[in-house]
Structure 1
């Protein structure tokens, strides 16, 4: 949901750059619940199944490259997402002027990186910066993620 939230923040406080990690970039007026159909995400699971040899469970989607202990702790803290935000249109009429960077994780399975590349180009107007790693680099590669975010943000 950070792809829907970060641009709102950029419109309210001075920000030099927005760095979106494993995000769902929206278009103006799009509700998060519409994102899946509007982006053609329905074809993405087929690509993921082709790569993985079958439909993976959610643990395999999100935590396949996270060490066992942090993955278990993350799973123990998961809570169901409220359905409320999914029905509300994104309130911005245009994307913020803030430049955006998108560190794309090549091994992401949700959504698959091969599919996400084009969406980032189309919706953010930027070329994703690719690195190894899955959907949760905060847990699988924290030092590398911190270095990337700092570099992309100009820090």
Structure 2
């Protein structure tokens, strides 16, 4: 069994490196896939890279973070997938683009409500440290800045051309303090799009960096069958 870890926007497989190291420590085959973000690269190229990373494995678990779920949907059609894991993920429906996902899920209203409940001004605009890296160490923030790329428009405008998620054990993991994708928002999206509950862990949008052992524990736990 090979565990493939897919990054979100920016394409940095590095965000999974602590989880991968934890799986290696426990004797598992695990690989973090780096996406070549930028230029004209998008879902087609990311899917090709994911399939290549699975070469030689008869069984694969696909774990995706944030926008990486769009690539997971396509790669799952071409790989011998035996499990799916989503972490703070943009779970798509067939034919959806990453650009359409935000309005389709009611994202803006959900974040606004969460900001107001937490005492943050929702009208100040996006701030990386506030919404993405608030629970990382200064060293992690600095290292992350050296790995992340910029997404091409194609990554947001290409329809996610898949018919359905495979009927395999699936786990949805959400950070309790994810300010970018609030917990209640993720709970609703997982229920509406997969018919599944979430498992929450400490940390924010990059819980795979701030709390890798908790994430690894859930990655290795049996998932739930998708509700058809």
TM-score calculated relative to the size of structure 2: 0.63
> Aligned equivalents of 2:158 and 2:74: distance in 1?
14
1:66 partnered with 2:132: no
What SS does the corresponding residue of 2:161 show, helix, strand or coil? coil
- The residue aligned with 2:58 is none
Q: CA deviation at 1:11?
A: 1.7
> Aligned equivalents of 1:132 and 1:70: distance in 2?
17
What does residue range 13-32 of structure 1 map to in structure 2 within 5 Å? 13-32=79-98
Name which of 121, 143, 154 aligns with 1:54.
121
What SS does the corresponding residue of 2:191 show, helix, strand or coil? helix
1:101 partnered with 2:171: yes
- The residue aligned with 2:187 is 117
> Aligned equivalents of 2:146 and 2:129: distance in 1?
12
Q: CA deviation at 1:79?
A: 2.0
Count of aligned pairs between the two proteins: 154
Q: Which moved more, 1:68-77 or 1:18-27?
A: 68-77
1:78 partnered with 2:148: yes
> Aligned equivalents of 1:79 and 1:6: distance in 2?
19
What does residue range 2-13 of structure 1 map to in structure 2 within 5 Å? 2-13=68-79
Unmatched 5+ stretches in structure 1: none
Structure (1/2) with the larger strand percentage: 2
Q: RMSD between aligned alpha carbons?
A: 1.8
Structure (1/2) with the larger helix percentage: 1
Q: CA deviation at 1:73?
A: 1.1
Unmatched 5+ stretches in structure 2: 1-66
